Amino acid sequence: MSEVITVTSGKGGVGKSTLSANLAVGLAEAGKKVVAVDFDIGLRNLDMILGLENRIVYDVIDVMEGRCNLSQALINDKRSKSLYFLPASQTSDKDILNKEKVAELIAALKKEFDFIILDSPAGIESGFEHSIFLADRAIVVSTPDVSAVRDADRVIGIIDAKSQKAKDGEEVLKHVVINRLRPDMVESGSMLSVEDVLSILALPLIGVIPDDEKIITSTNDGEPIYYDKNSLAAEAYRRIAKRVLGEEVSFLDLSTKKGFFKRLFG
Ligand SMILES: Nc1ncnc2c1ncn2[C@@H]1O[C@H](COP(=O)(O)OP(=O)(O)O)[C@@H](O)[C@H]1O
Ligand SMILES: [Mg+2]
């Protein structure tokens, strides 16, 4: 059985592509055959995060339009051999995706892969609907700020409205990832807490990723943070991958020491 996981959000720039890349690596490292598909047409960046931008010859639109076959377009990851990548097209025509062709592509990928990770554009873009309609599971990423959470909430409504599963009377699994959490800011009351975000979105949590500067350098180096043994964010991604595989793992304790004492002693 293969599973299509759409990584999505209401607002752009909240960490979808970074999550898509690191989740794909995590599932591949667990021995699964994984493909990460960049559906953010016009805005290539999953390739950068995976360090594969120099290997791109064909893209997802070339496959859909029949200019090449799937095997020609799939790029094997340099480190995780069971991970493959399908790049976004850099066309400026965001409406180029077509429902039948997307369905054909996903069906072909399902024959080959255990997990198909779709890195979607933000919920306001036109490609969003195409990335959601064949999803078995949606991971909604939000940063802990009011505008991102509000936009995420809107997207959650659209997921059910636009998905094939919902049309068939089934439910799309939905989870929330809270990204770029700053425990010090939560403790000082200047950032929404995990509980605040969950009370608005009312979906199960599948991960909390701390804000981590190393993510920016890892993207520049084309080396997913996942492989960094000393990064808390990497550990957060590893745990998300485990949860997707059905393992029960605890959430990272991200509270600062100061916050811990503050809770103890008021
Ligand atoms: N946990 C994090 N800590 C610090 N920076 C992050 C984190 N997650 C993402 N970023 C940075 O935020 C920016 C947007 O991330 P990206 O994954 O491209 O978002 P999206 O795909 O939603 O537009 C990138 O510069 C990325 O390196
Ligand atoms: Mg992106």
217 contacts: CB under 8 Å, gap ≥ 6: none
- Ligand 1 pocket check for 156: Cβ under 6 Å: no
What's the mean pLDDT in 133-143?
96
In percent, the amount of the chain with pLDDT more than 70 equals: 95
Q: Which of 83-92, 154-163, 184-193, 254-263 has the lowest mean pLDDT?
A: 254-263
The finding on whether 204 has its CB within 6 A of some atom of ligand 1 is: no
Q: Quote the ligand 2 centre to 120 CA distance (angstroms).
A: 7
* Average confidence (pLDDT) over 107-112: 97
Please report, for the chain, the start and end positions of each structural domain, with discontinuous segments joined by +.
Answer: 3-261
Where residue 97 falls among pLDDT bands split at 50, 70, 90? confident
Average of per-residue pLDDT across 2-21:
96
Q: Which atom of ligand 1 is nearest to the CA of 18?
A: 17
Distance CA 218, CA 227 (A): 10
Which residues are placed with Cβ below 5 angstroms of ligand 2, an ion?
16-17, 40
Contact indicator for 119, 46 with CB cutoff of 8 Å? yes
pLDDT at 56: 95
pLDDT at 160: 84
Buried b (16+ CB within 10 A) or exposed e, 125-135: bebbbbbbbbb
Q: How far is the centre of ligand 1, averaged over its atoms, from the C-alpha of 177 (Å)?
A: 13
Does the CB atom of residue 11 touch ligand 1 within 6 A? Answer: no
Reference 219, options 51, 84, 66, 82; nearest CA is: 51
* Cα radius of gyration rounded to whole Å, the chain: 18
Question: CA of 206: how far to CAs of 104, 139, 252, in Å?
Answer: 29, 8, 11
Q: What is the pLDDT of residue 83?
A: 98
- Supply the mean pLDDT for the chain: 92
**pLDDT for the residue 190:** 93
pTM above 0.75, yes or no: yes
Rounded Cα–Cα distance for residues 48 and 220 (Å): 7
Q: Which residue puts its alpha carbon closest to atom 20 of ligand 1? A: 13
Query: Whose CA is closest to atom 17 on ligand 1?
Result: 15
How far, in Å, CA of 262 to CA of 266, rounded?
Answer: 5
At residue 245, does pLDDT exceed 90? yes
Q: Is 221 in the pocket of ligand 1 (CB under 6 A)?
A: no
Q: How confident is the model at residue 258 (pLDDT cuts 50, 70, 90)?
A: low
Which residue matches tokens 């599932």? 27
Band (260; pLDDT cuts 50, 70, 90): low
- For residue 95, the one-letter residue type is D
pLDDT tens-place string over residues 201-237: 999 999 999 999 999 999 999 999 999 999 999 999 9
Q: What is the pLDDT of residue 257?
A: 66
CATH of the structural domain 3-261, one choice from 3.30.70.1450, 3.40.50.1370, 3.40.50.300, 3.60.20.10? 3.40.50.300
Helix H, strand E, coil C: the string for the chain is CCEEEEEECCCCCCCHHHHHHHHHHHHHHCCCCEEEEECCCCCCCHHHHHCCHHHCCCCHHHHHCCCCCHHHHCEECCCCCCEEEECCCCCCCCCCCCHHHHHHHHHHHHHHCCEEEEECCCCCCCHHHHHHCCCCEEEEEECCCHHHHHHHHHHHHHHHHHCHHHHCCCCCEEEEEEEEECHHHHHCCCCCCHHHHHHHHCCCEEEEEECCCHHHHHHHHCCCHHHCCCCHHHHHHHHHHHHHCCCCCCCCCCCCHHHHHHHHHC
Position 95 scores a pLDDT of 73
Question: Tokens 């403790």 map to which residue?
Answer: 187
Work out the angle at residue 193's Cα, subtended by the Cα atoms of residues 189 and 198, and round it to the nearest 5 degrees. Answer: 150
Which residue's alpha carbon is at the smallest distance from atom 27 of ligand 1?
Answer: 216
Mutate to test the pocket of ligand 1, among 18, 48, 119, 179 (most ligand atoms within 8 A of CB): 18
Q: Is 35 in the pocket of ligand 1 (CB under 6 A)?
A: no
Residue 60: the pLDDT is: 92
Mean pLDDT for 4-31 is: 97
